[in-house]
Structure 1
Amino acid sequence: MASSEVEHSKSHSEVAVTGWAHEPADAPSARFGWHGESKTAMRIGGWVSGIALLAMLIGNHESRVEDLYLIGFAAVLWFILLRDLYLGRRKWKN
């Protein structure tokens, strides 16, 4: 019969040496040294998603409620993207 005890393999105090800095051993990216997010890919994905939402307006639905939701979600998404673009310009450049 299987045990009901939880087995802990590594503690959070252990570190992995990556050559640049000591990172927690349980960090999944400690093996290849990447801890960022691709802001460009996220922005492109947001714009493409907004276009896809508006492309769904063309269809065989009869009610306008669906259209309002699609337009609303696209507008909110694009507002967030434009706000990010505007606030990104105000940051200090290195």
Structure 2
Amino acid sequence: MANTEVERYNGVDVEDVPSANWGWSKENPRIQQIGGIVVGLFLLAMLHGNHTGKVEDIFLIFFAVVVFGVVIRYQWLRKRGFSR
């Protein structure tokens, strides 16, 4: 008798990536968001250093705001259903 179950395609060929059966080849948005927050906090932590000029501070704050902005935008898009 024929099998009626549908095999789901998750976008990763098991022959190319053997670990796809275990679910290791999928993106994890939660880890990406946590990574973005950690990077932003690390940039802000580098404000405390031995530099005397303020140019470095401006660049560090700017890039931290950009990273936090990307994380917030990604979360907002996921909440509204525009991104998976």
Query: CA offset at residue 31 of structure 1?
Result: 5.2
Letter matched to residue 31 of structure 2: A
1:42 aligned onto 2:29: no
Q: List alignment gaps of at least 5 residues for structure 2.
A: 1-6
**Stretch moving more, 28-37 or 49-58:** 28-37
Report the number of matched residues. Answer: 74
Q: List alignment gaps of at least 5 residues for structure 1.
A: 1-18
1:26 aligned onto 2:13: no
TM-score, reference length from structure 2 = 0.72
Letter matched to residue 51 of structure 1: L
Query: CA offset at residue 20 of structure 1?
Result: 6.0
Partners in 2 of 1:77 and 1:32 — Cα distance?
31
Relative to its length, the structure with more helix (as a share) is: 2
1:51 aligned onto 2:41: yes
Relative to 1, partners in 2 of residues 1:36 and 1:65: Cα closer, same or farther, differing over 3 Å? same
1:77 aligned onto 2:40: no
Higher relative contact order (CA 8 A, sep 6+): 2
The percentage of counterpart residues that share the same residue type is 42
Partners in 2 of 1:20 and 1:54 — Cα distance?
43
* Larger of the two Rg values belongs to structure: 1
Query: CA offset at residue 47 of structure 1?
Result: 0.7
Q: Deviations over 1:3-28 (max 9, x none)?
A: xxxxxxxxxxxxxxxx8669351225
Partners in 1 of 2:46 and 2:59 — Cα distance?
11
Partners in 2 of 1:86 and 1:33 — Cα distance?
26
Query: CA offset at residue 32 of structure 1?
Result: 3.0
State the secondary structure of the residue aligned to 1:26: coil
C-alpha RMSD over aligned residues: 2.4
